[in-house]
Chains A and B, each alone.
Chain A
Amino acid sequence: MFTLSVTGGLIIAIGAFAPGIAIGLIGAKAMEAIGRNPEATGRIVPNMILAMAFAESIAIYSLIFAFLR
Chain B
Amino acid sequence: MPSQGPETLLSVSGFHLTNTLLATLLVDIVIVVLVLMVRRRLSLSPGKLQAAVEGIVEYLQTTTERVAGGRTPLIFPWVAVFFIYIAMSNLIGLLPGFGTIGFRRPEGFVPLLHVSTADLNVTLALAVVSVVATNVIAIRTVGLGTYLKRFFALNPILLFVGLLELLQELTKFITFSFRLFGNISAGEAVLGTMSSIIAFVVPVPFLGFEILVALVQGLVFALLTMAFMTMLTEPHHKEE
Q: Which of A3-11, A29-37, A43-51 is near enough to bind chain B?
A: A43-51
Taking CB atoms, residues of chain A closer than 8 Å to B178 are: 60, 63-64
CB–CB B66/A49 < 8 A: no
Cβ of B172 to closest chain A Cβ, rounded Å: 9
Interface of A is mostly: helix
Cβ of B98 to closest chain A Cβ, rounded Å: 23
What size tier do the contact residues of chain B reach? 10 to 19
What is the CA–CA distance of A64 and B62 in the complex, to the nearest angstrom? 35
Contact A50:B223 (CB < 8 A) given known A57-B175, A57-B179: yes
Q: Among B63, B66, B178, B219, which residue has the most Cβ atoms of chain A within 10 A?
A: B178
Taking CB atoms, residues of chain A closer than 8 Å to B224 are: 49-50, 53
Taking CB atoms, residues of chain A closer than 8 Å to B219 are: 49
Cβ of B240 to closest chain A Cβ, rounded Å: 25
CB–CB A57/B171 < 8 A: yes
Contact flags (1/0) for B24-67 with A, using CB distance below 8 Å?
00000000000000000000000000000000000000110011
Taking CB atoms, residues of chain B closer than 8 Å to A61 are: 174
Q: Who on chain B is nearest to A52 by CB? A: B220
What is the CA–CA distance of A52 and B179 in the complex, to the nearest angstrom? 12
In this assembly, does B182 line the interface, its C-beta being within 8 Å of a C-beta of chain A? yes
Contact flags (1/0) for A52-66 with B, using CB distance below 8 Å?
110011001101100
CB–CB A46/B223 < 8 A: yes
CB–CB A56/B62 < 8 A: no
CB–CB B63/A46 < 8 A: yes
Cβ of A9 to closest chain B Cβ, rounded Å: 14
Contact A42:B179 (CB < 8 A) given known A49-B223, A50-B224, A60-B174: no
What is the CA–CA distance of A46 and B220 in the complex, to the nearest angstrom? 9
Q: Who on chain A is nearest to B178 by CB? A: A60
Taking CB atoms, residues of chain B closer than 8 Å to A53 are: 175, 179, 220, 224
**Cβ < 8 Å to B, chain A residues 8-24:** none
**Cβ < 8 Å to A, chain B residues 199-240:** 219-220, 223-224, 226-227
**Cβ < 8 Å to A, chain B residues 161-216:** 171, 174-175, 178-179, 182
Would you list 25 pairs from A and B whose C-beta atoms are within 8 A, ordered by A residue? Answer: A42-B62, A42-B66, A43-B66, A46-B67, A46-B223, A46-B226, A46-B227, A49-B219, A49-B224, A50-B223, A50-B224, A50-B227, A53-B175, A53-B179, A53-B224, A56-B175, A57-B171, A57-B175, A57-B179, A60-B174, A60-B178, A61-B174, A63-B182, A64-B174, A64-B178
